[in-house]
Structure 1
Amino acid sequence: MMPWGYTVPAVAAVLAVIAAELFVVRTGLFRRGTYWVTMVIVVAFQIPVDGWLTKLSAPIVRYSPDGITGWRFPWDIPVEDFLFGYALVTAVLLLWERGKSRKDSVGKDTA
């Protein structure tokens, strides 16, 4: 059975942000190499920080075992943390790109 506490919202967040890009915002973000480089950089920093916060030997952040799948990789990081991180960073970048394109279109109208 899939845990409802953290796993389902994490998966839903990823699906929502992907759907927002593909069907609503349509910035082309997923086709840009710079986006994927950004995601690699985010994960590179997330792993040591999140790993330290969630290490099972002395956790600073604890999760209810009923709220997560229990899948942890690497260094005891719950996979749900990566899902939420992906959704959060991607949503911010989509909003940034959307705001930038709106600003550009307003500037063209007044020129």
Structure 2
Amino acid sequence: MIPWGYTVPAVAAVAVVVAAELTVLRTGLFRRLAYWIAIVIVTGFQIPVDGWLTKLSGPIVRYSPEDISGWRFPWDIPVEDFLFGYALITAVLLVWERTRPREEQSP
């Protein structure tokens, strides 16, 4: 059974953001080391916070088992949280890059 409630939207969010960059926005963000370093930093902070919020021994945030894939890594974090986090951070950075004023070209 496919968990439609949270898994499918999480995967779709990543697909939409990546497709938007590759086909429409074309900011070149995915080719920048600074972007990947930022993703590592965000994930590094997400793991302890999300792990504390979703730990199965005493969750603050609970997920309906039929709405998630059931894959949890590390510390009981649903993998869908990482997908949504990636899509959200990447979307914000893409909008930032796209709307940033460009340096004027010299004649």
- The normalised TM-score by structure 2 is 0.95
Partner of 2:102: 104
Q: 1:20, 1:104 → 2: CA distance?
A: 20
Q: Figure out how many residues of one structure are paired with residues of the other and give that number.
A: 105
CA distance in 2, matches of 1:21, 1:85: 17
Instruction: Tell me how far apart the structure 2 counterparts of residues 27 and 96 of structure 1 sit (CA, whole Å).
Output: 10
Question: What does residue 58 of structure 1 align with?
Answer: 58
Report the alpha carbon displacement of residue 2 of structure 1 after superposing the two structures with TM. 1.6
Partner AA of 2:47 in structure 1: I
| Higher helix residue share | 1
Q: What is the rounded CA distance, in whole Å, between the counterparts of 1:104 and 1:79 in structure 2?
A: 37
1:31-110 alignment to 2 at 5 Å?
Answer: 31-100=31-100, 103-104=101-102, 108=104
Taking only the aligned residue pairs, the percentage that are identical comes to: 75
Q: For 1:2 and 1:73, how far apart are their aligned partners in 2? A: 19
Structure 2: any 5+ residue segments left out of the alignment? none
Deviation readout 1:89-109 (Å, 9 max, x if unpaired): 000000000001xx227xx49
Q: 1:58 & 1:85 partners in 2: Cα distance?
A: 22
Q: Which runs of 4+ in 1 moved over 3 A?
A: none
